[in-house]
């Protein structure tokens, strides 16, 4: 599936790729609509419809991922509300074996997430991801997301990775498309980012190689 002998630099997404996406899906689809409905004296359905409209306006942009933006937009303490359900933050069960294999194989490993720095900090606090990864980056530091070619240009300028020897792993097909457009040669998708939902089919994965369990490729790495 991947030629690991030709890969020396690995860029990893966080939510859905190393962490179970269930936390984020539950937060935005259940927890926030409930809190917004209560705060603004409306039905849950009305709150969900409003949130769907507002999120669609900024999909793929830095605002979509910005906790400050949503705190102002919704007049809700987003960071504190995330902390209310922080017990739902969880690593994928196959993530640490995968990360340990990458380290054993002497691959440079960098996490690049669109998550806001406060969200990244909360998740690192809960999972200790920083102990297994060389560098953790929030794209908020650059003011653009992984959907943007500008982000890839800035990342490459800072990290000095070679497109031909770099692997990028993400559960978002839109973001994988962006990395492919930039020229990242090795790409890997995650078919089952949310443990509570069924895995995506081959048809939905647009031809990208994919995993459902990193442990199935560990022997290839080391």
Task: Return the pLDDT at 60.
Answer: 85
What is the β-pairing status of strands 166-170 and 210-211?
unpaired
Residues 51 and 104 in one domain: no
Residues 16 and 27 in one domain: no
Residues 8 and 67 in one domain: no
Residue ending a domain, among 87, 113, 130, is 87
Residues 39 and 103 in one domain: no
Residues 30 and 104 in one domain: no
CB atoms within 10 A of CB 31: 16
Residues 115 and 73 in one domain: no
Task: Return the pLDDT at 72.
Answer: 96
Task: Return the pLDDT at 206.
Answer: 82
Residues 61 and 163 in one domain: no
Residues 12 and 31 in one domain: no
Residues 205 and 125 in one domain: yes
Task: Enter the pTM of the model.
Answer: 0.95
Report how many domains make up the chain: 2
Residues 209 and 136 in one domain: yes
**Residue among 69, 71, 66, 91 nearest 81 (CA):** 71
Q: How far is Cα 51 from Cα 32, in angstroms, rounded to an integer?
A: 9
Taking every pair of C-alpha atoms in the chain, what is the biggest distance, in angstroms? 58
Task: Return the pLDDT at 50.
Answer: 96
Task: Return the pLDDT at 200.
Answer: 86
Residues 50 and 115 in one domain: no
Residues 44 and 120 in one domain: no
| Rounded (10°) angle between helices 44-57 and 32-39 | 110
Domain region containing 36: 23-87
* pLDDT tens for the 222 residues of the chain, in order: 899 999 999 999 999 999 999 999 999 999 999 999 999 999 999 999 999 999 999 988 999 999 999 999 999 999 999 999 999 999 999 999 999 999 999 999 999 999 999 999 999 999 999 999 999 999 999 999 999 999 999 999 999 999 999 999 999 999 999 999 999 999 999 999 999 999 988 767 888 999 999 999 999 999
Residue ending a domain, among 87, 114, 131, is 87
Residue ending a domain, among 33, 54, 87, is 87
CA trace torsion 99, 168, 219, 16 (10° rounding): 60
Measuring CA to CA, how many Å separate 133 from each of 96, 101, 201, 220, 221?
A: 10, 12, 30, 20, 16
């Amino acid at each position: 599936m991947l030629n690991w002998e030709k890969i020396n630099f690995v860029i990893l997404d966080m939510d859905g790729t190393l962490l179970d996406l269930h936390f984020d899906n539950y937060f935005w689809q259940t927890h926030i609509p409930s809190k917004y409905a209560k705060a603004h004296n409306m039905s849950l359905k009305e709150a969900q419809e409003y949130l769907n409209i507002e999120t669609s306006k900024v999909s793929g942009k830095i605002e979509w991922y910005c906790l400050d933006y949503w705190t102002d937009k919704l007049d809700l303490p987003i960071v504190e509300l995330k902390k209310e359900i922080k017990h739902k933050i969880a690593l994928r069960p196959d993530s640490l074996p995968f990360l340990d294999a990458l380290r054993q194989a002497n691959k440079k490993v960098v996490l690049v997430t669109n998550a806001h720095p406060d969200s990244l900090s909360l998740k690192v606090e809960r999972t200790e991801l920083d102990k297994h990864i060389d560098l953790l980056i929030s794209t908020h530091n650059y003011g653009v997301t992984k959907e943007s070619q500008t982000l890839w240009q800035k990342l490459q300028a800072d990290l000095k990775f070679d497109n031909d020897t770099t692997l990028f792993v993400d559960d978002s097909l839109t973001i994988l498309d962006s990395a492919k457009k930039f020229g990242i040669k090795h790409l890997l998708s995650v078919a089952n980012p949310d443990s509570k939902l069924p895995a995506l089919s081959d048809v939905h994965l647009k031809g990208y190689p994919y995993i459902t369990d990193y442990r199935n490729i560990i022997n290839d790495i080391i």
